[in-house]
Structure 1
């Protein structure tokens, strides 16, 4: 009996070793044949400009930069001082049908906050900008940068942010924008250790990230999804938990708030620019021991998704193990950019 158990145990160890060996070979091959875009410090401090049609005045208005070169260190960058309380980033590509609704909700909320909260700084330059065939007056400026990916667009937006805090929200408006208040309260708790309302302003120099979450809606959404999408979703969550993130249940909700200090450190080190960029962002925050919290938000399924479900899930299924593999074996380093 004991001999049989020992044989089964040895067979299990041998099988596990063989599986681990071939998994290592597979990840090595994927890491070699799936390259990533390497960016130097010049990219992060490069000038970026407001998009304007050529016939309009002020066609070359430059954005401020999140980062500046640190003169005392040849390899270092330093975050710049904020000019506003909040910057909102909305990555959008071919979203002329859904973006107006999202921006309408966003701008109405910001105007209402500015009207009743004197500390909520809100700048309204009242200039028009053209988004394909749609025109509106808005207290914001579009950034046109050659990036065809979600993560790349968010990073480029963050590099132009002027706010003490940086919120990015999906263009489809699936998340209720007024839930920003929930994230804001949690951010204050992480940075200051007390709750709002408070006599002290939130400390933006503390590295923290608050993640909007749909995890509380998971059971209901699973009942409406197809079996294939449910299997893909569960498999994705398992991959994330095994290889990358343990502190957050829903890494993919497009509603996240970062302090300026956290954004300045995280975005220059981001390698993944596709749909799994959120996972790497939180992975970095965990390993740098930043303050992280997950807050439930209202979320609605919006028609016209730009994600091809099967292709995007396969792509993320490859990227997530590679995040673990490349950081574990120092192909990527946690401190490639010195922001001390």
Structure 2
């Protein structure tokens, strides 16, 4: 995934008119017990012309916590969150950028959400087990009822934020598990941040750490928790938390 990213961005920089397509890569290691940090360090050593930073978290915080910490360290005009498994074709960032630029408001807020909704077919549904289909439909119903409307795929790990949007959203995040995408988009919609959903190329990667039953139950609990806390006013979006521009 790192090689695909660097190859694409370096080619893009070399072929751009002004050769000023600067970028950085932030690798967040969420307290893993494998060799991630060493592999990332070796890759950075081999690509010293690329701005690569490694953010090792001492303890596992969950996907949401890891993404949030990475976004809080980001220095770019645009901030992309992307899963490290390479399930999404990285070059689709061009699609997200084009769509994002078309919706950004005058205050510099906007989000482009990668979507796999176009890949859902009758054949794909038939191949899934009854319990998987049941849980999937139940989750989407809960998301629609308690959380997000107008976005078909809230969970795709390929989302592009303007810097202003990232600065407003991520300092106000609370949930650190799988459901963090919902809170992220819920905050965005509550602040009237423009959001566009963009179809991306995606393929299934083996080795998912999601437990179908236990994680589905936990996600449902977290979804109720998010909605309840915002409705009761325990959680509020505080614009004074916005990070200062670097």
Please tell me the TM-score bracket, short chain as reference: 0.7 to 0.9
Match of 1:209 in 2: 111
Shift of 1:311: 1.6
Cα pair 1:213 1:294 within 8 Å, conserved: yes
Q: Secondary structure at the match of 2:153?
A: coil
Paired with 1:153 and 1:183, the residues of 2 have a C-alpha distance of 22
| Correspondence for 2:102 | 189
1:131 pairs with 25, 36, 45, which one?
36
Distance 1:123 1:240, change over 3 A: closer
Q: Relative to structure 1, is the Cα distance of residues 218 and 294 closer, same or farther in structure 2, using a 3 angstrom cutoff?
A: same
Classify the secondary structure of the residue corresponding to 2:159: strand
Which structure: greater helix fraction?
2
CA offsets 1:310-334 (integer angstroms, 9 cap, x no match):
2211111111122111101111112
2:30 alignment partner in structure 1? none
Q: Which TM-score applies when normalising by structure 1? A: 0.62
Runs of 4+ in 1 over 6 A off after TM superposition: none
CA contact (8 A) 1:268 1:337 kept: no
- The answer on 1:141 being equivalent to 2:42 is no
Deviation, 1:146, is 3.0
Q: Contact (CA 8 Å) 2:147, 2:186: kept in 1 or not?
A: yes
Provide the rounded CA distance (Å) in 1 between the counterparts of 2:216 and 2:102: 34
Per the alignment, residue 330 of structure 1 pairs with 233
Which residue, out of 105, 120, 123, partners 1:218?
120
CA gap of 1:123–1:145, structure 2 versus 1, over 3 A, is closer
Q: How does 1:163-182 map onto structure 2 within 5 Å? A: 163-182=76-95
Match of 1:258 among 161, 182, 206: 161
Once the two structures are TM-superposed, the CA of residue 247 in structure 1 deviates from its matched residue by 2.1
Q: Deviations over 1:240-272 (max 9, x none)?
A: 000010021110000000000001010011011
Query: Over residues 157-186 of structure 1, what are the superposed CA-to-partner deviations in whole Å (9 max), with x where a residue is unaligned?
Result: 111111000001101111111111100001
Q: What is residue 21 of structure 2 aligned with on the other side?
A: 120
Q: Distance in 2 between matches of 1:107 and 1:222?
A: 35
Q: Give the distance between the partners of 2:181 and 2:115, measured in 1 at CA.
A: 12
Contact persistence 2:147–2:182 (CA under 8 A): yes
| Larger of the two Rg values belongs to structure | 1
Matched, 1:234 2:137: yes
- Judge conservation of contact 2:37–2:54 (CA < 8 Å) in 1: no
Question: 2:69: which partner in 1?
Answer: 156
Shift of 1:304: 0.9
Aligned 8 A contact 1:186 1:293 in 2: yes
Alignment of 1:1-340 (within 5 A): 102-117=1-16, 118-122=19-23, 131=36, 134=39, 135-136=42-43, 137-138=46-47, 139=50, 140-148=52-60, 149-191=62-104, 206-219=108-121, 220-335=123-238, 337-339=240-242
Q: Deviation per CA, 1:215-258: give whole Å up to 9, x if none.
A: 11122432321111111111110000000100211100000000
Higher relative contact order (CA 8 A, sep 6+): 2
Is the 8 Å Cα contact of residues 214 and 298 (structure 1) preserved in structure 2?
yes
For structure 2, the residue ranges without an aligned partner over 5 or more in a row are 26-34
User: Do the aligned partners of 1:147 and 1:153 also contact (CA within 8 Å) in 2?
Assistant: no
TM-score under structure 2 length normalisation: 0.85
